Amino acid sequence: MKSKIVNLLKYNKTVYKIYYYLMTACLALMKLFVKTDEKLILFNSFAGRKYDDSPKAIFEAMRADPRFTDYKFVWAFHEPEKFEVDGAEKIKTDGLKYFKTALAARAWVTNSSVERGLRFKKKNTFFLNTWHGSPIKKMGSDIASDNQSFSSKGKNHTDVMNTQSYFEADIFSKCFDIPRNHFIEVGLPRNDTLANYTEEERATLRRKLGLPEDKIVILYCPTFREYEKDENLGVVLAPPMDLKKWEAELGDQYVLLFRAHYEVSKVMVINENVFVRNVTDYPALNDLMVASDILISDYSSIFFDYSIMDKVMLHFTYDFDKYEEKRGMYFDIRDYLSGSASEDGVIVILKELDYKKETEKTVTFRNKYMNFYGEASKKTVDCIAEHIM
């Protein structure tokens, strides 16, 4: 029931307008009575869905930084009981305490949004948004108007946004209506581990995940199709894959890890076995990227992050024309990476894989689209300190 209400807010403009104006009036009144706590910082990741990504990397760096010893950290989650967070208070999103905390906080740190489709940031609240990936698919105001979920009304109040490249900053400045000089060119804090992991750490992760040493691990991470919905308006993901065929053709050499996008509500049936595992609910995507050997995706920003490691990347763009029509893209990933529109084509590439050729393509892609990475956590924390201290 709750998911249906959330989806109505996202995709029904009338329902969203009622929500927006009622909540705006309530929060305007609350603002008069909630004072700013100069030592309070509010975090969330994917709007409260996870304890992961760049906000977690920033939080861990701040927690270890003597400059923030006397600060109070608060994490907001949809389901706080699911997460263990040392050194911070946990609260539930969307309740009275959430909005009161957001109004009181000196700083917000997120990779998506804090305002829940509203606009209530105080002038003295510092808002840092790392975002959660570089764009292949069109974003924000660049998306066709008949395919947008709600767009928050009013001015975008982001004070600082992280960027991994000049390409990304130019696009986000336009589509999110953020002044170009509000971007810090340092990369995404979540990707520091991808740039700096050791082979010993990688081996430990593979053992932790139970991955066989003698198999090549494929990580399949398709993005979501917001126009593919079920009866509750939840996003459905059902790529044209016969996993039994994949196992028969590739099982002697490969293991397949399947991870759906966090926006997806319903995934194709995956009968897990020694060849295929559904890792959608595994909490740390970076672990899966480090532990794997090959990435297969489509129009997802994961290509940018994965390219840092100089590993093989392939595309499986089975619905390219439809996706281009419905969502739109800034460039054609097929111009940079090998892949296919059919599962048979992808299987053939995997059976005849030329590692040198494919990794060279990855390096070319990275050199074009990834200008900044490796020390983003430290540089971002320094930026926050400069703004709030």
Spell out a b/e string for 42-59, using b for 16 or more CB atoms within 10 Å of the CB, else e: bbbbbbbbbbbbbbbbbb
Same domain as 163, residue 143: yes
Query: Does the pTM of the predicted model rise above 0.85?
Result: yes
Same domain as 316, residue 248: yes
- Binned at pLDDT 50, 70 and 90, residue 169 comes out as very high
Same domain as 225, residue 106: no
Residue corresponding to tokens 């539930």 = 92
Same domain as 315, residue 252: yes
Distance CA 264, CA 280 (A): 10
The enclosing domain of 132 has a CATH number of 3.40.50.11820
For the segment 21-47, what is each residue's pLDDT rounded down to a tens digit? Answer: 899 889 999 999 999 999 999 999 999
Closest CA to 57 of 190, 164, 163: 190
Q: Taking phi first (over 0 means left), then psi (-120 to 50 degrees means alpha), and beta for anything else, what does residue 374 get?
A: left
- Percentage of the chain surpassing pLDDT 70? 94
Closest CA to 313 of 328, 302, 324: 302
Same domain as 91, residue 238: no
Question: What does the angle CA 156 – CA 159 – CA 164 come to, to the nearest 5 degrees?
Answer: 100
Distance CA 211, CA 164 (A): 31
Same domain as 236, residue 109: no
The enclosing domain of 345 has a CATH number of 3.40.50.12580
pLDDT at 235: 83
Alpha carbon 34 to chain centroid, angstroms: 31
Same domain as 241, residue 165: no
Q: Which amino acid is at 226?
A: E
For the segment 229-240, what is each residue's pLDDT rounded down to a tens digit? Answer: 787 778 878 889
Which domain covers residue 119, as residue numbers? 2-188+374-388
Residues forming a β-bridge with 264: 235
Q: Domain total for the chain?
A: 2
Alpha carbon 108 to chain centroid, angstroms: 17
Closest CA to 380 of 168, 164, 86: 164
Same domain as 233, residue 121: no
pLDDT at 3: 60
Same domain as 208, residue 144: no
Same domain as 364, residue 384: no
Q: Mean per-residue pLDDT for 319-333? A: 96
The residue that leads in pLDDT, 145 or 263, is: 263
Sheet holding 37-43, edge to edge: 89-92, 72-77, 37-43, 105-110, 126-129, 160-163, 183-185
Alpha carbon 75 to chain centroid, angstroms: 17
pLDDT at 227: 84
Instruction: Average the pLDDT over each of 22-31, 67-76, 163-172, 192-201 and give the range with the smallest value.
Output: 22-31
Distance CA 170, CA 43 (A): 26
Q: Which amino acid is at 173?
A: S
pLDDT at 203: 97
Q: Is the pLDDT of residue 10 over 70?
A: no
Same domain as 179, residue 204: no
Half-sphere exposure of 108 (CA within 13 A, CB side): 33
Rounded-to-5 percentages of helix, strand, coil across the chain: 40, 20, 40
Distance CA 237, CA 299 (A): 14
- Binned at pLDDT 50, 70 and 90, residue 92 comes out as very high
- Binned at pLDDT 50, 70 and 90, residue 9 comes out as low
- Binned at pLDDT 50, 70 and 90, residue 72 comes out as very high
- Binned at pLDDT 50, 70 and 90, residue 150 comes out as very low
Same domain as 171, residue 245: no
Determine the 3-state secondary structure of 162 from DSSP: strand
As given in the structure block, the two tokens for residue 243 are 């996993």
